[in-house]
Amino acid sequence: MRTGTRPFLLMLVLVLGCNGSRDQLLADLQSPRPEVRALAVKKLAGQGNPDDLVLFTRAAKDLAAIVRAEAAVALGESQDPRVVDLLGELLEDSDEEVQGRAAMALSKVKNDKAKAYLTLQYGRRGRATRQVIVQALKNANVPGAMAEVVAAEAKGQWDRNLLTLTEGALPERVGAAEELGKSGRPEAVNRLLPLVRDSQVILAAAAVRGLGDAGDKRAVGAIALLLDESFPELRESAIIALMKLQDPAAAPRLQAVAVEKSAVSPMAIDAILSFPRTPEADTALCAVALDGAPAEALAAGRAMRSRGGCPMDPIGERLSRPATAASGLQAVLGLGPAALPLLPKVAPWLNQNDAVLRLLAVEAVTAVGDASVVPQLQKLYEQEVKGLEALRTDWVAQKLPENYSSAFDPSAPSSPHVPGAAPDERAARHASLFERVKALNAQRARDSGRPVVKPRVPTELFDDVEAERLVPLATLLRALGSLRAPGALELLKGYSQDSSIPLRTAALVGLTHLGPEGVAVARDGLLEPERDLQKALAQALAEAGDAGPAALMELLPKMGGEKLLVLDALTRGSGVPASASAVLQTVVKEGGPEAALAAGLLGRIQAKDAVPTLIKALDETNSVARRDVLLALGTLGDSQAADAVSRDLFHDLPEIRAAAATALKRMGATNQSESLDALKSDYFRTVRDAAGAALAKGGTAAEGAR
């Protein structure tokens, strides 16, 4: 063979080999397996054959997301301007991976149309795709990429809401009014202020809510006037807006609403309580403590305990006359220890014939917390027991059995049919299925370590005493426990198993004030099925020194749906033991609404060991606790979480973006200035405020955290 023929034969072999490989790839494009089709697209793209563009176009319509993603990459590698529209469609794909690949592919085309697609879709996509879009624009050498898309998104939202407010149908205008207010722009305030007097009440109410979100105190005067309106929706919106605007100048008008004892009075007192402390706010709270409905008066009085209390003379004057004594007693009940100087004027009402005033006096002296009244309370207890003795005497002399018979035990398997009757196959199947469900639930409870609560065996065939009649006795039991009366521990232990729920609740709550021994007895009441009992007891334990919260944390893993109730009580309570970190982290890992409260508690106790768990929780894209997890990480201040937190600066929900900026501020992260600076152009005021505070050396991100 001549030497010159060898290069020719080698070239022929290579060509035939390549063609054979290409033929296989073309065949793989028809494979029923998505991963094979995707690999074929990827390898064909690597060959750089311009004629394959039509193959990639067809692959972009594939039913499998993995194939569409590879097609997007291949189309981008072609840098052909004709593929821009197709990549724009892929940017709207239902799969986030495809969206991200399409965004990066558009960055390679580098023309105005590709940039327009990226800018437009930023405001329509989720966090992951938004982050990729910004990176794609940076790759395309677009200066200030994130600032540009954030500003474009804000402009689009503003124009859309403004057009809807002027030309939309009434329901659309209502939504637009609220959204315009959230922008916080002065122009939005100017447009919404005239609408607060609109004849359409729902539109006026929406404008008021929007003005509250706008945060411009110019609107306080106009909104406060609406408190005199007769439309409940308008009044509610006005109170919500005034709460957000945080102007104590509105306290006198809110005070008038709080003491009128209407449906919106609780909202009015909540608004006053949210204000910064000022003389106007304190005066309003003291007025409500005297003249408000019991619930509002109690809330106002308790708030004034930490503020030095209220003037004693007006309360003392009320206590000196029977006609006004009730209002004076309810003020003392709210003020608690701060009203100790008034105890000599309160104690005589313990001996009054008026049952209502006597009961109020018992609650008032209990709140004051002075043990000097214990002998009087013990005497009242003896009188109350004697008065109920005849009503509560067992009319069945022998002791009732404490175990169910096999025919009546609720936990025993149900009989599929009545003995002596014809078997009912359908009923038997239902009974069998019900028993299987009960068994599975019981097994699941045992596997999780939760105790199986058995139904309480009745100790009475019929209770002749109505629950309302037992309220005075229950109040006295709580009082004796709260004031640590001699013999209270044994007394309340006896009532802790009483058949009456009010008495059992009072005894268990009273026991929480009697130290570790009392808490040890009371804690088991959390496993009772009565929801009101659980709620009252959980709150009492949360405020019972160190032993109470410790008992709650010990029981928390054993509880099911009641975890939320316990966590809420701990959040409202005075403290959580530092040892609670492991239990709270478990709750965070389980997710759900409980995770939000658990995350907040982890931040409160400065559980540094919880940082990895909280960071991991951010991987759950649809977590309802995301905002709370971010704020908890900020409170813990560990800079190792900065990268995970900063990803949420791209989140599509404004409250999450604001929380991320707030968290970065709290942890002192300084390497996200570009993204934070871009968010200063965000549509939503809360996001802009949080980003600005995070960038300011001496600022505070509290506004954005709300």
Per residue in 296-313, pLDDT (tens digit) is 999 999 999 988 899 999
Residue 654, domain member (yes or no)? yes
Residue 5, domain member (yes or no)? no
Angle at 42 between CA 37 and CA 43, to 5 degrees: 100
User: What are the tokens at 419?
Assistant: 């003995």
Cβ proximity of 278 and 256 under 8 Å = no
pLDDT value, residue 671: 84
Q: What is the mean pLDDT of residues 519-546?
A: 90
Residue 48, domain member (yes or no)? yes
pLDDT-above-70 percentage for the chain: 85
Q: Return d(Cα 414, Cα 437) in angstroms, integer.
A: 12
Cβ proximity of 224 and 238 under 8 Å = yes
Cβ proximity of 668 and 695 under 8 Å = no
pLDDT value, residue 621: 86
Element containing residue 203 per DSSP (H, E):
helix 201-214
Q: Return d(Cα 598, Cα 552) in angstroms, integer.
A: 13
Query: 575, 594, 611: which is the final residue of a domain?
Result: 575
Q: Return d(Cα 112, Cα 110) in angstroms, integer.
A: 7
Is residue 696 over pLDDT 50?
yes
Cβ proximity of 480 and 374 under 8 Å = yes
pLDDT digits (tens, 9 = 90+) for 5-44: 444 433 433 333 344 488 899 999 999 999 999 999 999 9
Residue 425, domain member (yes or no)? no
101/157 same-domain check: no
pLDDT value, residue 16: 36
pLDDT band at 647 (very low <50, low <70, confident <90, very high): very high
pLDDT digits (tens, 9 = 90+) for 134-172: 999 999 999 999 999 999 999 999 999 999 999 999 999
Q: What is the mean pLDDT of residues 391-400?
A: 58
Rg of the chain taking only CA atoms, in angstroms:
34
- What domain range includes position 81? 25-142
| Helical ranges in 393-470 per DSSP H | 425-447
pLDDT digits (tens, 9 = 90+) for 657-682: 999 999 999 998 778 899 999 999 99
In this predicted model, which residue has the larger pLDDT, 543 or 434?
A: 543
Residue 230, domain member (yes or no)? yes
Q: Return d(Cα 336, Cα 531) in angstroms, integer.
A: 27
Q: Which SS3 state, helix, strand or coil, does residue 73 take?
A: helix
Q: Return d(Cα 653, Cα 125) in angstroms, integer.
A: 11
pLDDT band at 488 (very low <50, low <70, confident <90, very high): very high
Lowest mean pLDDT among 298-307, 414-423, 459-468, 662-671: 414-423
528/636 same-domain check: no
381/513 same-domain check: yes
Is residue 270 over pLDDT 70?
yes
pLDDT value, residue 425: 59
Q: What is the mean pLDDT of residues 480-495?
A: 94
540/644 same-domain check: no
CA distances to 104, 307, 676 from 688, rounded to whole Å, are: 28, 34, 9
User: What are the tokens at 101?
Assistant: 């690949």
User: What are the tokens at 152?
Assistant: 């474009």
Residue 90 gets the label, from left (phi > 0), alpha (psi -120 to 50) or beta, of: alpha
pLDDT band at 546 (very low <50, low <70, confident <90, very high): confident
Cβ proximity of 301 and 336 under 8 Å = yes
Which residue do the tokens 């749906």 mark? 561
Q: Return d(Cα 270, Cα 291) in angstroms, integer.
A: 16
Which residue do the tokens 């709460």 mark? 243
Query: 540, 557, 575: which is the final residue of a domain?
Result: 575
DSSP 557: G
Residue 331, domain member (yes or no)? no
pLDDT value, residue 462: 42
pLDDT digits (tens, 9 = 90+) for 83-92: 999 999 999 9
Judge if pTM exceeds 0.85.
no
Q: Which SS3 state, helix, strand or coil, does residue 322 take?
A: coil
Q: Return d(Cα 694, Cα 599) in angstroms, integer.
A: 22
pLDDT value, residue 437: 67
Which residue do the tokens 């060509």 mark? 15
37/118 same-domain check: yes
Q: Which SS3 state, helix, strand or coil, does residue 554 take?
A: helix
Q: Return d(Cα 594, Cα 567) in angstroms, integer.
A: 7
Residue 431, domain member (yes or no)? no
Residue 261, domain member (yes or no)? no
Is residue 119 over pLDDT 70?
yes
Query: 92, 111, 142: which is the final residue of a domain?
Result: 142
pLDDT value, residue 194: 95
Burial of 83 (0-12, 13-18, 19+ CB in 10 A): buried
Residue 6 gets the label, from left (phi > 0), alpha (psi -120 to 50) or beta, of: alpha
Is residue 457 over pLDDT 90?
no
Average pLDDT of the chain? 87
pLDDT band at 706 (very low <50, low <70, confident <90, very high): very low
pLDDT value, residue 388: 83
Q: Return d(Cα 254, Cα 218) in angstroms, integer.
A: 18
User: What are the tokens at 178?
Assistant: 């609220």
Q: Return d(Cα 177, Cα 204) in angstroms, integer.
A: 9
pLDDT value, residue 465: 72
As for how many domains the chain has, the answer is 4
3-class secondary structure per residue, 233-290: HHHHHHHHHHHHHCCHHHHHHHHHHHCCCCCCHHHHHHHHHHCCCCHHHHHHHHHHHH
- Residue by residue, DSSP assigns 39-70 as HHHHHHHHHT-GGGHHHHHHHTT-SSHHHHHH
pLDDT value, residue 254: 96
DSSP 30: T
pLDDT digits (tens, 9 = 90+) for 189-209: 999 999 999 999 999 999 999
pLDDT value, residue 445: 57
CA distances to 49, 68, 72, 74, 183 from 41, rounded to whole Å, are: 12, 9, 10, 7, 46
165/106 same-domain check: no
pLDDT value, residue 13: 35
pLDDT digits (tens, 9 = 90+) for 298-357: 999 999 998 889 999 999 999 999 999 999 999 999 999 999 999 999 999 999 888 999
Lowest mean pLDDT among 428-442, 574-588, 613-627: 428-442
683/596 same-domain check: yes
Which residue do the tokens 């018979």 mark? 405
539/605 same-domain check: no
385/517 same-domain check: yes
pLDDT value, residue 441: 62
178/221 same-domain check: yes
89/188 same-domain check: no
Measured from the Cβ of residue 368, the count of other Cβ atoms closer than 10 Å reads: 23
Those residues whose C-beta lies under 8 Å from the C-beta of residue 453, and which sit 6 or more positions away, are: 527, 528, 529
Q: What is the mean pLDDT of residues 470-489?
A: 94
pLDDT value, residue 400: 53
76/172 same-domain check: no
